[in-house]
Amino acid sequence: MGCAATPGAPEEGEAFGFLPSGTAIWAGGPWPAIQPSEDVDAVIDQLCPQIMKLPRATLQDYGQEYCGALYTVGDGRYYASHPSPLGSREPLGPQRRKACYPPRTVRDARGRATLIADFHSHPWAPSSMSPRDREARNQLWLIRIQFDTRCTIQKLVPHLDEDRPGELFVREGSRWRRIGLILQDDKASGRVTALSDE
């Protein structure tokens, strides 16, 4: 079941919806609020300010999490999908667990979308990637992006199919600073080994 429609938000069926399985979603693209770029970081940097304009995106324990995807259509540029609030039912009330489903596919009328990353917001701050965000079973693409209401952005590169640690970064200005590793034996749980300043 999806979340109830929120006034001012895109509605299911227009910009996002459930796939036939009923537990995975699609998202439409591109999202007009985000300018495409040949530099994926330029797209990532636009996400948080636009997401925070959406209904309940900043309402903390009573807030709404939004999920979307970054993708290409073979033209050398990166695009963002529409953000979706669809996810598992969570009780409305004070709690530190919100859930939206990252898109499994993007529907773009211009051609086949190749997804490279998912992104999601947390409706409070400070809030970093949760253990559930980092678990191997929840990684869909090459990159995962998460941000809070202060627009502190984290990036996870899980390296699931490689014999190397996953890497966790935080965005600082126009650069990514690596703040942690997920060692090979910890990929299933997503446990992070913190790094000193690099």
In the predicted model, is pLDDT for residue 9 greater than 80? Answer: no
Instruction: Read off the pLDDT band of 98 (50, 70, 90).
Output: low
Residue 78 pLDDT level (bands cut at 50, 70, 90): very high
pTM of the model: 0.89
Strand duo 105-107 + 25-28: pairing: parallel
Summarised one tens digit per residue, pLDDT across range 104-140 is: 999 999 999 999 999 999 999 999 999 999 999 999 9
Query: Please, which pLDDT band fits residue 198 given cuts at 50, 70 and 90?
Result: low
Domain boundaries defined on the chain: 25-194
Closest among 146, 140, 8 to 65, alpha carbons compared: 146
pLDDT of residue 65: 94
The span from the CA of 22 to the CA of 92, in Å, is 22
pLDDT at res. 137 = 96
Helices (H), 11-130: 40-51
* Average pLDDT of the segment spanning 189-196: 94
Helices (H), 21-106: 40-51
Whether 25 has a pLDDT exceeding 80, the answer reads yes
Give 178-182 contacts, CB < 8 A, sequence gap 24+: 182/134, 182/156, 182/158
Q: Is the pLDDT of residue 22 over 90?
A: no
pLDDT-derived band of residue 191, with 50, 70 and 90 as boundaries? very high
pLDDT band at 2 (very low <50, low <70, confident <90, very high): very low
